[in-house]
Amino acid sequence: MKRTNTFTVRPLSDNGEQLLRDLLDASAALWNEVNYLRLMRYNDKDGFKGDVWDADTGTLEGKYKDVLGASTAQQVIRKNSEAWRGFFRLKEQFHDESNTSVTEHPEPPGFRGNEVDGRQLKTVIRNTSYTVEWGDRSRLEILVGSELKDRYDHIGRLRLEIAGVPNWPDYEKQGRLDLWYDETDSTFRASQPVTVSDNARATPLAEEKAALDIGANNLIACTTTTGEQYLYEGRNLFDRFRETTREIARLQSKLEDDRYSSERIRRLYRKRTRRRDHAQEALCRDLMDRLYDKGVSMVYIGGLIDVLETHWSVETNAKTYNFWAFKKFTERLVCTAEEYGISVEVRSEAWTSQECPQCGSTDRTTRHQDTLTCPCGFEGHADLTASETFLERNTSEPVRPMARPVRFEWDDHDWSESPRSHESPKEQRTDPSTVHCDGNVASGESA
């Protein structure tokens, strides 16, 4: 299994901190120089011949290798090449009409700040150029170039203290290490991809099943064969995502004609993505933890992409795609489930969201905000009902009577049980303050 350890690192002395900053700053400077040569060629500027791959990166590697070490200089250049390849791939998808997964025109790779306003401190270290020692006092050691070594009268291997315990301290192989300074909370961070033995996987406690309904207002509605129902609320997150998206649009409208973007815009994009990824990652873990405890060994996920294409407006579609990054989210779910030994199946069958569980009708039901009602007398939470129907379709065993659904809210760090957890949909609907609140949020965004 491929996994990633992320952790905070601290220099052991002021001298060490200065050295680390110089290393990250020089890496950013190299990135910028390489990127400049490529961008000028991409924009077909006078004096820059050929396409982006004709830029002379060899000379730049020579210029920086004494500071960074040859391997780090190479890695930074390679990473920039990957960013350009990624950009060309996205651009191709954007212009391919049969492909609807890229909805915004992609931008060429950006610069890592500049000398005047400060560069974005960031580097990448080859897998053979660093070592990690896990233990009571975990340590990271990285190679630095001879010029930095001399400047700081240093031994050439920079030692950093690692804070906290990683998810995967035992691994068979380590990959390229990303190392950067996180301005938002003034810490140095690292991300280490590792290959973990398949034996690290847990074994399910029983053979229960669960089905997931994925949406934007409720991120996940889940029903299990043990009779549990979970609802992860997404309104706050979606609102903040939308707020940031509006701010990005506002800043974009003020850009001069020949500019794609600005550092501020890029920072907002990064912030938006980071916030979403953090919430998604935590959701996957929280959910799989619960499902594992209930003995679930199989999870069904509805084929949501098909659903979006046929049932949602184009505008809502685009927003929701961006917000959820569905493919990535499904991959994340699969990946987390794997650690718990839980299998995941993505089923792209007919939509269950509008089906009445009592009489089976799909065209007589109405959905108002979160409530599904049917002339036959049924009334229930639309997304939870959908996950229940979806579960019944995928299992031959009877689904046990449902406990009261547990609702979770995101507070920027954790998913915790919401105070609304013990209200039934009916109670919510008749509570005027809740109706008002739902009405505001749902406008234009609800399914």
**Contact between 260 and 108 (Cβ < 8 Å):** yes
Residue 19 or 374 having the CB closest to Zn ion: 374
Residue 47 or 377 having the CB closest to Zn ion: 377
Q: How far is the CB of 360 from Zn ion (least distance, A)?
A: 7
Q: What is the dihedral of CA 84, 86, 92, 96, to 10 degrees?
A: -160
Interface with Zn ion, residue 358, by CB under 5 A: yes
Length of the chain: 447
Q: How far is the CB of 230 from Zn ion (least distance, A)?
A: 24
Residue 72 or 385 having the CB closest to Zn ion: 385
Interface with Zn ion, residue 356, by CB under 5 A: yes
Task: Render 317-335 in DSSP notation, one character per residue.
Answer: HHHHHHHH-HHHHHHHHHH
Taking residues 15 to 54 in sequence order and writing x for each that binds Zn ion by CB under 5 A, - otherwise, the string is: ----------------------------------------
Question: With CB under 5 A as the contact rule, which of the stretches 64-72, 237-245, 352-360, 393-401 interacts with Zn ion?
Answer: 352-360
Question: With CB under 5 A as the contact rule, which of the stretches 177-185, 241-249, 301-309, 359-367 interacts with Zn ion?
Answer: 359-367
Q: How far is the CB of 371 from Zn ion (least distance, A)?
A: 13
Binding residue (CB under 5 A) for Zn ion from 202, 206, 359, 437: 359
Measured between alpha carbons, how far is 436 from 447 in angstroms, rounded to an integer? 18
How far lies 2's CA from each of 14, 63, 134, 198, 303, in Å? 35, 35, 19, 10, 25
Residue 314 or 359 having the CB closest to Zn ion: 359
Task: Render 191-224 in DSSP notation, one character per residue.
Answer: EEEEE--GGGS---SS-EEEEEEE-SSEEEEEEE
Q: How far is the CB of 364 from Zn ion (least distance, A)?
A: 7
Reduced to 3 states, what is the DSSP secondary structure of residue 262?
coil
Q: How far is the CB of 354 from Zn ion (least distance, A)?
A: 11
**For residue 9, which of 240, 195, 220, 181 has the smallest C-alpha distance?**
181
Question: With CB under 5 A as the contact rule, which of the stretches 258-266, 268-276, 355-363, 412-420 interacts with Zn ion?
Answer: 355-363
Helix (H) or strand (E) holding 286: helix 263-293
Taking residues 368 to 407 in sequence order and writing x for each that binds Zn ion by CB under 5 A, - otherwise, the string is: ------x-x-x-----------------------------
Q: How far is the CB of 385 from Zn ion (least distance, A)?
A: 11
Q: How far is the CB of 359 from Zn ion (least distance, A)?
A: 3
Interface with Zn ion, residue 202, by CB under 5 A: no
Half-sphere exposure of 99 (CA within 13 A, CB side): 11
Residue 343 or 358 having the CB closest to Zn ion: 358
Residue 169 or 375 having the CB closest to Zn ion: 375
Residue 39 or 372 having the CB closest to Zn ion: 372
Half-sphere exposure of 142 (CA within 13 A, CB side): 30
Residue 196 or 356 having the CB closest to Zn ion: 356
Q: What is the dihedral of CA 86, 240, 421, 283, to 10 degrees?
A: 20
Own/partner contacts of 353-360, CB < 8 Å, gap of 24 or more, are: 353/213, 353/307, 353/382, 353/383, 353/386, 353/447, 355/386, 355/389, 357/385, 357/388, 357/389, 357/392
- Burial state string for 52-89 with b = 16 or more CB within 10 A and e = fewer than 16: beebebeebbeebbbbbbbbbbbbbbebbbebbeebee
Residue 446 CA to its chain's centroid (Å) = 22
Taking residues 299 to 338 in sequence order and writing x for each that binds Zn ion by CB under 5 A, - otherwise, the string is: ----------------------------------------
Q: How far is the CB of 361 from Zn ion (least distance, A)?
A: 5
Q: How far is the CB of 372 from Zn ion (least distance, A)?
A: 9
Ramachandran class of 231: left when φ > 0, alpha when ψ lies in -120 to 50, beta otherwise? beta
Residue 66 CA to its chain's centroid (Å) = 36
Judged by CB under 5 A, how many residues of this single chain contact Zn ion? 7
Q: How far is the CB of 356 from Zn ion (least distance, A)?
A: 3
Task: Render 355-366 in DSSP notation, one character per residue.
Answer: --TTT--SSS-E
Question: With CB under 5 A as the contact rule, which of the stretches 28-36, 49-57, 109-117, 356-364 interacts with Zn ion?
Answer: 356-364
Measured between alpha carbons, how far is 207 from 200 in angstroms, rounded to an integer? 20
Residue 244 or 358 having the CB closest to Zn ion: 358
Chain residues 161-180 in contact with Zn ion, contact rule CB under 5 A: none
Q: How far is the CB of 369 from Zn ion (least distance, A)?
A: 19
Interaction site with Zn ion (CB under 5 A) = 356, 358-359, 361, 374, 376, 378
